Structure 1
Amino acid sequence: MVADGLFVYGSLREGGSNHAWLMRTHPEGLTRAWVAGRLFHLSAGYPALVPEPDPAEPPPGPGWVRGDFVGYEDEGDLDSALADLDPLEGVEEGLFTREIRPVVLEGGHRYRAWAYVFHVERLPRLEKEAIELPDGDWAPYL
């Protein structure tokens, strides 16, 4: 499966504590985007996206998580960026899983992007222990 870029929705976004880490991967650009899912704020100080099927209505709105689509020159640059970001996101430790998700850009264009997500099996625990953000935007915590 091939992705067109990366979707970031938490501390890697502009204004986030790890945005500089993202910028050192030399992206070509960032644009506002949405991924279908539910967003939670964890007590550890970062968000968790649980993917879901696309809502009936286009973004923004319920069932969409706001973030940025990050583009790279080519697949090699994207792979290099992911190799740099995976340790930060705790992929090897199982904190997040990286998977390709459909992403909708601000202008309505659709692409496929890697996103760091929590698996749906963790949803019951998130519903008990985390704060769900119904508007799908982690910006107030940046």
Structure 2
Amino acid sequence: MTMKTLFVYGTLLKHEEHHEAYMKESSPLAKSAWINGRLYDTGAGYPACILAGKSTVYGELYEVTAETLNKLDALEEGYDKQEMDVMTDQGPKAAVAYTLSEQKASGLKEIESGSWKEYRLWQRKPLSFYYFAYGSCMDDARFKLAKVDHYFKRIVGGGALDRFTTRFTLVRPDGSRADMVEDGGETEGVLYEVPFDAIRYLYKREGVYEGTYRPAFVDVKMGDQVYEDCLTFLVLQKSEEIAPPGHYRSEIEKGADLYLSEAFRKKIRSHMDSLIKP
């Protein structure tokens, strides 16, 4: 069977409108994938991407059959099917994607974040959403200092995340900060249900507008239940890992000791111990 690699960025994303009908037989290759380009809102309930400019479009990577691509050709009529290099945490992958020409995108509203899921979250402004913390936000010390701890009272509990591993790739003069890298592993963190108003604090704390972390959406397992499209944050410019500073490590350990499994607590302590101090 002939297989192709496909980059999706809109309604074909997991949990989006067309995923179940067109993508359920496809194998996920990367939950975190991105290309150089610009994303636009067509105004018809789906986005369009053009391969121009220095911005980034975020999406997912799948292995699909020729039959699936034939169905998608019909769905994506009017779009160009182009080959490109798609970036992942494991390096570039050759893939195809459905894009628009720059001329056809003129007049459309640009989605500056490059993320359809993030754009839709801000459009919907739900009363609350799920937030997955895996670093210092597992502890409430800095929530209290910032006087926003009332946003984070609803703790769903400790949850697990497939495909990702907690790493320390954001390097600062005093040591590193936490990240999640998609390398086929598994990690754990704390799941909160927070009011929509909390999003502004989270974006500020994570340096989203300065390009430090970017919003991403993950499925979190808690026992037999899966919480879909939980907001989390990933480091944009990943560096070689070094050890986190003591105060940051302490916040991680406090949150982990309260909510996460003993096996994971041992694993994360051992990993932090193994890293070179700045």
Residue 51 of structure 2 aligns to which amino acid in structure 1? P
SS in 2 for 1:22: helix
Is structure 2 residue 116 aligned with structure 1 residue 138? yes
Match of 2:86 in 1: 103
Per-residue displacement from partner, 1:21-64 (whole Å, max 9, x unpaired)? 2334x2122422001100001111110100026x4xxxxxxx11
How far, CA to CA, are the matches of 2:13 and 2:7 in structure 1? 9
Is structure 2 residue 53 aligned with structure 1 residue 47? no
Mapped contact 2:23–2:68 kept (Cα < 8 A): no
Match of 1:116 in 2: 98
Aligned length in residues: 117
CA-based RMSD of the aligned residues comes to 2.0
How far, CA to CA, are the matches of 2:50 and 2:100 in structure 1? 5
Match of 2:63 in 1: 71
Higher helix share: 2
Which structure is richer in relative contact order (CA contacts within 8 A, separation 6 or more)? 1
Q: Flag structure 1 segments of 5+ consecutive residues without an equivalent.
A: 56-62
How far, CA to CA, are the matches of 2:58 and 2:42 in structure 1? 17
Is structure 2 residue 74 aligned with structure 1 residue 81? no
How far, CA to CA, are the matches of 1:46 and 1:110 in structure 2? 26
* TM-aligned CA deviation for residue 66 of structure 1: 0.4
Mapped contact 2:57–2:114 kept (Cα < 8 A): yes
Residue 48 of structure 2 aligns to which amino acid in structure 1? A
1:17 to 1:141, Cα distance in 2 relative to 1, 3 A: same
Per the normalisation by structure 1, the TM-score is 0.74
Q: Superposition pairs for residues 18-29 of structure 1, below 5 Å?
A: 18-24=18-24, 26-29=25-28
Residue 70 of structure 2 aligns to which amino acid in structure 1? A
How far, CA to CA, are the matches of 1:42 and 1:51 in structure 2? 16
Higher strand share: 2
Q: Which entry has the higher C-alpha Rg, 1 or 2?
A: 2
How far, CA to CA, are the matches of 1:133 and 1:121 in structure 2? 17
Q: Which runs of 4+ in 1 moved over 3 A?
A: none
Q: Flag structure 2 segments of 5+ consecutive residues without an equivalent.
A: 122-278
